[in-house]
Structure 1
Amino acid sequence: MTSTAHGMIQNFLDLVSYGFIPNGGRIYYERRSQPPFLTLMVESFFKATNDTEFLAALPVLKDEYGFWMQNRSVALDVAGAEHRLNRFHVEAGLPPESYTDDLELAEGLSELREQLWAELKAGAESGWDFSSRWYIDAEGHNDGALKDTRTSQILPVDLNALMCRTERTLASFCRALEQAAARRVEAMEALLWDPERGAWFDYSLLSKSKHLEFYTSNLAPVWAECFSLPEMGERAMQYLKESGALNFPNGVPTSLRESGQQWDYPNAWPPLQHMLIEEAQQLALDLAQRWIRTNWLAYNEYEAMFEKYDVNGDGKPGGGGEYEVQLGFGWTNGVALQLLQQYGAGLTSAGR
């Protein structure tokens, strides 16, 4: 389906005329981005087709990268060295797509309601809308409820891993960005890496500390290949094994906290499974087996694919959040097809 992929990428490139790719094709998304995967889309297409046409889009890719560095980054001083990392951040204003729900959520907050609405939009910009990952309570802890969402006050591991991989990919097209990628690895290891636990963790700008709960995003730098020492990747795989997140036969949960939000336990999402499988080479076949089995059990039961699945359910669709689980979904189908192509010969009908 290279012609389909070509058209989709071209549409995204055209949208960067706004300075970035909006969160959706609607007027009220003009100030809210998608996570910046465009450069990696172009790279994937080029690797699959060897078509150099999109390499002419380098100025557009650099424009999107520049938007994130100019509008979605913060600088922090650590031990006398300045480090710059990225975050999700959107201007205030009630999110129109969930107008009634968010109006009710902010009831009684008076002057803080505009802040909450901005933070909810930043959560939507992240793609993880919504998750306990973005909660910061009054004491500054990674705790609370949806009304405690403070997305813009967190430096996310996965966003910075994505930016690092983007910098390295752009550097392969344009060597001037090599130093930017090296500086980001240094910054991520200064602020996000925990050598004792062996993983990367989101960093709170409010408490000036890491959020140490398990999220699949803690492993994103392994997927992005953004770390300086080989043993860090090995330590991260050990962290994954010790976390308890592999104890589920139907996939790896997004987190281990059951908050009622859809980007938390017990839900497992296709793109996150795909990232983990790319990361965990020694565990890849087992993780692929679990995920394809879950997809197959659900398809047999419901004659449909779903956007997310319950890791406890042997094919049960996921839940939580502000809407009913969605049928179909491109990322579910795409991940399943790629895993079948890559691991199909080793998969069994018996399950694990």
Structure 2
Amino acid sequence: METGSQEEVESMMFRGAVDLLEQEYLFWMRNRSVSIEIQGALHTLNQYSVQAGEPRPESYSDDWELAEGLTEAGKQAMWAELQSGAESGWDFSSRWFIDGEGQNRGTLRDTRTRLIVPVDLNTLLCRNERTIASFHRTLGSEEGRGGNLEMAEQFELALENRVKAVRAVFWDESLGAWFDYSLQTNSSHQAFYPSNLAPLWAQCFSEPSAGERALRYLQDSGMLGYRNGVPTSQVESGEQWDYPNAWPPLQLMIIEGLMKLSSEKAEQVTFDLAQKWIRTNWAAYQRDKAMFEKVSGSGQRWRFISSSAADLCFI
């Protein structure tokens, strides 16, 4: 590496990176894919779906107690749903709740992660397809590496198909945003979550008007009115990925997504959100000399909260 030219070093880095990216991508396509038919067209998308029907090692006693009173099959099914929710990183949230009537509501015991096709996972994979295609195209420009150009074309086609699928399955024309899809009801869950704006961040849409419409959706939701950031939902379920908690990666996703829009309105909203987040975290650090895992969107004071894993929250 030290004796090679800059071009040789970059080529080695690209080759190593693209192999790892493809391994991760293939895991999702082989183990976490689902087909959805919309108006006669079949779309392949991805979901969180762990099949291990046992309590999570990190929360074994909590999961065991939650399953009390269920049949053995019921326990295994619920534990698999909880594991799938943990796989998402949103552990836990009303986002994964589906009650006995198929509605997006309930309690932790109603977690049905495997019945939901999430917007943000698919936009992450959309971004991955674009990145992998770009890496292959860069490598394909080298002499004797025509196979990389063929791979670039394959991933560009996969990207094109995913953009179409995201539009067909997640986009709601009347509301102007993207929503998680329920495999139980074959319809969208129209509750607010920051993930409804994930395609902005990933640039996983093709209609020029979609970005500004999503901005209007965010403004109309009322979620910009909180002093410390955008809460994770409008549902106060007691779970950490719900109201009133505002999480750093979701603030970043919204801010970076809006930054890609060209309007003055988007620029102002982006600036305001970034200022809120910086101000809140600076104030918290000045007081406690600590950076917080999450904050309450409307909070003005600090305290410890206990959950399955101890954390510190500014509320």
TM-score normalised to structure 2 length: 0.85
Cα distance in 2 for partners of 1:233, 1:66 equals: 30
1:141 equivalent to 2:103? Answer: yes
1:309 equivalent to 2:290? Answer: no
The answer to whether the 8 A contact 2:120-2:198 is kept is yes
Higher relative contact order (CA 8 A, sep 6+): 2
The answer to whether the 8 A contact 2:304-2:312 is kept is no
Deviates more, 1:297-306 or 1:133-142: 297-306
**1:236 alignment partner in structure 2:** 214
Q: Percent identity?
A: 55
Note the alpha carbon deviations across 1:227-282, whole angstroms, 9 max, x for none.
01110011001100110110101011111111100001110111111111101232
**1:4 alignment partner in structure 2:** none
Equivalences for 1:66-81 in 2 at 5 Å? 66-81=26-41
The answer to whether the 8 A contact 1:89-1:119 is kept is yes
Which residue identity lines up with residue 118 of structure 1 in the other structure?
Answer: A
The answer to whether the 8 A contact 1:310-1:318 is kept is no
Secondary structure of residue in 2 paired with 1:279: helix
1:116 equivalent to 2:78? Answer: yes
1:188 Cα offset (Å): 1.0
Selected match of 1:85 from 45, 63, 76: 45
1:263 equivalent to 2:241? Answer: yes
Secondary structure of residue in 2 paired with 1:189: helix
Name the CA shift for 1:132/1:98 in 2 (closer, same or farther; >3 Å): same
Structure 1 unaligned residues grouped into runs of 5+: 1-49, 328-352
Selected match of 1:97 from 58, 76, 94: 58
Which residue identity lines up with residue 256 of structure 1 in the other structure?
Answer: Q
Name the CA shift for 1:101/1:291 in 2 (closer, same or farther; >3 Å): same
Note the alpha carbon deviations across 1:295-330, whole angstroms, 9 max, x for none.
012112222111111111136468574333248xxx
Secondary structure of residue in 1 paired with 2:225: coil
TM-score normalised to structure 1 length: 0.76
Cα distance in 1 for partners of 2:58, 2:309 equals: 12
Selected match of 2:14 from 20, 44, 55: 55
**2:262 alignment partner in structure 1:** none
The answer to whether the 8 A contact 1:266-1:310 is kept is yes
Larger Rg: 2
1:171 Cα offset (Å): 1.1
**2:117 alignment partner in structure 1:** 155
Which residue identity lines up with residue 107 of structure 1 in the other structure?
Answer: E
Which residue identity lines up with residue 323 of structure 1 in the other structure?
Answer: A
Two-structure CA RMSD over aligned residues (Å): 1.7
